[in-house]
Amino acid sequence: MKANYGYTDGSGDYYITIETEGCLKCTEHDCVDACPQDVFAIIEDDYDDLVAAVVEEHRRSLAYVCSECKPASDPPPLPCVEACPQNAISHSW
Amino acid sequence: MTENKQEFWRWSEYNWRDENKDWREGNIVTAGIDVGSVSSQAVICVDGELYAFNNVRTGSNSPDSARRALEGALKDTGMTRDDINFVVGTGYGRVNVPFADKAVTEIACHARGANFMAGNEVRTILDMGGQDCKAIHCDEKGKVTNFKMNDKCAAGTGRGMEVLADLLEVPVTEIGEMSFQVDEEPPPVSSTCVVFAKSESMALLKDGWPKSKVLAAYCAAMAQRVASLLESVGMQEKFFITGGIAKNRGVVERIEKILGVKAIQTKFDSQIAGALGAALFAKTLYEKRQAKGVA
Ligand code: SF4
Ligand code: SF4
């Protein structure tokens, strides 16, 4: 499943997409520890699969929460994207 | 003296039961309770077929709303809560359904409900709820393959429509019809935020716009907003709309026009999709537990 967490507001689209098919093959769940803001958690989804999800408290504030990982000039690779062995995480902005 | 102010946002609560069916002849009785931010529904299924439902306004207390919804669905059936084998709670208040055996997200439940209501060819579902809207893709079994929601702002939602109904003093159920009583389609209100859209609508009224024209502009803005959400996940036919706003043709027909796609029409009430999906999930979960010998 493609799970898009986030929102659109007057300034743009702020979504993190998780391809949860990747999570089914993942044993380490490195996204959870890699994120300095605790954006990810492993949950049991509605079909009883263990997958990564963006935690509820950050879903409406991603632009702000992720801002430190995304400096305006020379942004480094994102820790969450780098850590995921399945290339399951992408950001819309 | 107290002013007797009419509440234009208020819609009537209602329930339904299949009078040709005797639930005692069935094997598995399940219920789905969808506690939304504006309305709550309870659906009872017998062997995976719709038997009864009730639609009420959500009060300030989610457990009470869940109880009230189920009591209305049980009314005149001779059934009690003890006769129900499994209950699934869904909606924003799903974790506050005290008698639920399990909570399932409304995204999964709407997809399952839409699959039942509109058939297994449905691939894109738009759920326009009380306080958010969701674009969902599903497979032929009603399993979610992609979803995106926007709940940052009440515009494009049932609550936004209720605010407008009160502002313009038009019953919420008449907004859709009235929005077509215009000579030509006005430009949509520019704001996507319900607070600004409200002040913009007030300014248009002051400028002499008739209510119907303001409604047309507001419905068009809502339609544009949800259409862009749908376009961002990609439109795959067939297309179905669930939730209360599916009953507002002022919004639905404008969405269809923007996307160039007709939404599937069904005999079922679009507002019960989440609760119906929950009741169907409940049957699957009950059968799984039975198979494991724990039910
Ligand atoms: S690291 Fe990647 S694949 Fe593993 S759980 Fe996290 S998002 Fe899923
Ligand atoms: S960009 Fe940084 S803060 Fe945002 S999810 Fe990735 S690791 Fe976490």
What CATH number is attached to the domain comprising A30? 3.30.70.20
What pLDDT sits at residue B1?
42
Tell me the average pLDDT across B144-168: 78
Q: What is the set of domains in chain B, with CATH numbers? A: 14-115+272-291 (3.30.420.40), 121-263 (3.30.420.40)
A1/B144 CB distance under 8 A: yes
In the predicted model, is pLDDT for residue B173 greater than 50?
yes
Q: Find chain B residues with C-beta within 8 A of A9's C-beta.
A: 152-153
Integer distance in angstroms from the first to the last C-alpha of chain B? 58
B279: its two tokens: 């009741």
The helix/strand count (H/E) of chain A reads as 4, 5
Nearest CB among B143, B150, B281 relative to A8 is that of B150
What pLDDT sits at residue B156?
56
The more confidently predicted of residues B197 and B61 is B61
pLDDT grade, residue B8 (50/70/90)? Answer: low
pLDDT grade, residue B263 (50/70/90)? Answer: very high
**Helix, strand, coil percentages for chain A (3-state, nearest 5):** 25, 30, 40
**Per CB distance under 8 Å, which residues of A are interface residues toward B?**
1-4, 7-10, 13, 15, 45-47, 60
Tell me the average pLDDT across B251-279: 95
Cβ contacts of B259-262, under 8 Å, gap ≥ 24: B259/B227, B259/B230, B259/B231, B259/B235, B261/B235, B261/B237
CA dist., res. A73 & res. A14, Å (int): 19
Taking the centre of ligand 1 as the mean of its atom positions, its distance from the CA of residue A23, in whole angstroms, is 5
Tell me the average pLDDT across B267-285: 96
Instruction: Give chain B's length.
Output: 295
Domain count for chain A, please give it: 1
Tell me the average pLDDT across B144-158: 74
Supply the residue whose CA is at minimum distance from atom 4 of ligand 2: A66
Tell me the average pLDDT across A5-23: 92
Based on its alpha-carbon atoms, the radius of gyration of chain A, rounded to whole angstroms, reads 13
In the predicted model, is pLDDT for residue B274 greater than 50?
yes
Exposed, middle or buried by CB within 10 Å (0-12, 13-18, 19+), for A72? exposed
Residue A7 C-alpha, separation from nearest chain B C-alpha, in angstroms: 5
The more confidently predicted of residues B133 and B114 is B114
pLDDT grade, residue B191 (50/70/90)? Answer: low
In the predicted model, is pLDDT for residue B192 greater than 80?
no
What pLDDT sits at residue A81?
98
Q: Find chain A residues with C-beta within 8 A of B151's C-beta.
A: 7, 60
CA dist., res. B84 & res. B285, Å (int): 13
In the predicted model, is pLDDT for residue B154 greater than 60?
no
CA dist., res. B193 & res. B153, Å (int): 6
CB–CB contacts below 8 A, A to B: 39
B146/A2 CB distance under 8 A: yes
pLDDT grade, residue B60 (50/70/90)? Answer: confident
What pLDDT sits at residue B96?
84
A15/B147 CB distance under 8 A: no
Q: Which of A23-27, B116-120, B287-291 has the lowest mean pLDDT?
A: B287-291
What pLDDT sits at residue B95?
82
pLDDT grade, residue B2 (50/70/90)? Answer: very low
Q: Which residue among A16, A66, A84, A90 has the greatest number of ligand 2 atoms within 8 angstroms of its CB, and so is best to mutate?
A: A66
**B125 pairs with which residues across the strands?**
B136, B240
Task: Indicate if ligand 2 lies below 6 Å from the C-beta of A39.
Answer: yes
What pLDDT sits at residue A71?
92
Average pLDDT value for chain B: 89
Tell me the average pLDDT across B148-165: 73
In whole angstroms, what separates CA B167 from the centre of its chain? 23
Range of the structural domain that residue A61 is part of: 2-91
Peptide bond into B148 cis (omega under 30): no
The more confidently predicted of residues B87 and B294 is B87
In the predicted model, is pLDDT for residue B202 greater than 90?
no
* Position in ligand 2 atom list of the atom nearest CA A54: 5
